[in-house]
Amino acid sequence: MMSMLDADSCYRAYAARDARFDGRFFTGVTSTGVYCRPVCTARLPKPENCRFFPSASAAEAAGFRPCLVCRPECAPGESPAEAGQRLADAAAGLIAAGGLDEAGLGALCGRLGVSARHLRRVFRERFGVTPVAYAQTRRLLLAKALLADSGLSATDVAFASGFSSLRRFNALFQSRYGLSPSQLRRAGEARAISGEAATVELGYRPPYDWDGLMGFLGTRAVAGVEEAGEGAYRRTLRLWRNGTPHAGWLAVCPAAGKNALRVAVSTELLPVLPAVLARVSHLFDVCCDPWAVSGGLSGLADGHEGVRLPGTADGFETAVRAILGQQVTVVGARTLAGRFAAAFGDPVATPFAGLSRLFPDPGRVAALSVEAIAALGVIAGRARAILALAGAVRDGDLELSPTADLEKSLDTLRALPGVGEWTAQYIAMRALGWPDAFPHTDGGLKKALGETDPKRIARLAEAWRPWRAYAVMHLWRTLQGAST
């Protein structure tokens, strides 16, 4: 929860209607006498008519009544029976990654800790459809994009989009769009794919600082696993579906003449294509509203409104690198991460000379010894921290993705040996995608702000809530990569 309910920062989050802040504060509107959630779709009140409260109870104690549009009783954390929008958004994120295709609604509900009936209700309130219908539309839209923009056969398109039956795919496509898949292909511009890759475009809201993001990712790229240069980002990736690993490569570059990124995916990753695209969307922060963010940074973003918050394609990989980067330079952390991947990662074939390894998964790392990791030049304390991290992820005690429960993940991280607040906040920024994360003890922030006292830095950063993680990126930008 936002530790200080500063009126300006709360209003910025309220105006942006960002679901990531749902349940973290409530807005009392003096002109109407109601109180709302940050995601309320009613007309935005003027700032002077807003008061902010840490809970629904506090708002009601001040004399406000619940809004009939956003229904504060459904906000996350307000009622054990009402998980509300955050639950629906988490479910949508998992569905986008293929979670419903892989194991069905029952398994999805089990992962979220709710009943199917409850999930259907809150999902319909949020999106107007059931989870199954939502997943169906996503499959169809992905299939439509693949038919138009790739040379994949209709059969490959069907299975890559998450359909288990070609017959079902053809029938549903015809009924929904009034065209058969083959008719759409003839009507569109079917382009041949290069090598063994399918291509998909992911749209974003401009402006978009592609060069800045490439600079950030390039200086931190793990040798053999990822590379950023010559106008493209490329990496290896391994994802699991129904107990089967799928390992291959992906490449991302700007789509010519469009506000979109072009994502090329190797054939080996087609069975998990929705999950790959979900990770690329997170890595490149394509869902960001840059003007809402830059408007809340008190001029820090002026002239650089397109700066994005880099996510990750592999939360565990980023967390390991964060531990390796404790109290060392970016170059030093990158060197250690490259050694780690070379020593413990599996080889993988790609058409790129710089990509040859998969980053080791949590199970493999958890089985290592402190001595094996320390032999790479990693101090024993950090080796133990990496082993503890790997064990927590392997055992399901820690989830490192944007759909994870933020507070639970942070508490678990902080409880691990060798993981302090800097590491936890850095992981929250990138692996958990939390826009208000802020590693206030970071050396780069001290240099950028000309301030050595972490407490003073934390106080200065209050003006940038709820976008402090974006403020970090702007401050690091001024140092040209001086921070991890």
Q: Which residues contact 396 (CB under 8 A, 6 or more apart)?
A: none
CA distance 157 to 196: 14
Q: Which of 10, 22, 36, 288 is catalytic?
A: 36
Alpha-carbon span 354 to 447, nearest angstrom: 33
Helix or strand run (H / E) with residue 241: strand 232-241
Which residue, among 221, 152, 163, has the nearest Cα to 190 in the 3D structure? Answer: 152
Q: Tell whether omega for the bond before 466 is within 30 degrees of 0, i.e. cis.
A: yes
Q: Which residues contact 361 (CB under 8 A, 6 or more apart)?
A: 238, 316
| Catalytic residue list contains 453 | no
Q: Is 36 a catalytic residue?
A: yes
Q: Which residues pair with 318 in a beta bridge?
A: none
If residue 276 lies in a helix (H) or strand (E), which one and from where to where? helix 273-283
> Residue 148's closest CA among 194, 96, 97, 200?
200
How far apart are alpha carbons 358 and 349 in whole angstroms? 10
Residue 239's DSSP bridge partners are 246
CB 55 within 8 Å of CB 66: no
* Per-residue DSSP letter, 259: S
Residues recorded for the chain: 484
**CB-based contacts of 374: which residues, under 8 Å, 6+ apart?**
380, 383
CA distance 12 to 20: 13
Side-chain half-sphere exposure of 180, counting CA atoms within 13 A? 8
Please, is 429 exposed, middle or buried when counting C-beta atoms within 10 Å of its C-beta (0-12, 13-18, 19+)?
Answer: buried
Read off the tokens for 120: 């259907």
Cα separation, 274 vs 19, whole angstroms: 22
Separation CA 239–CA 93 (nearest Å): 16
Residues annotated as catalytic are 36, 442
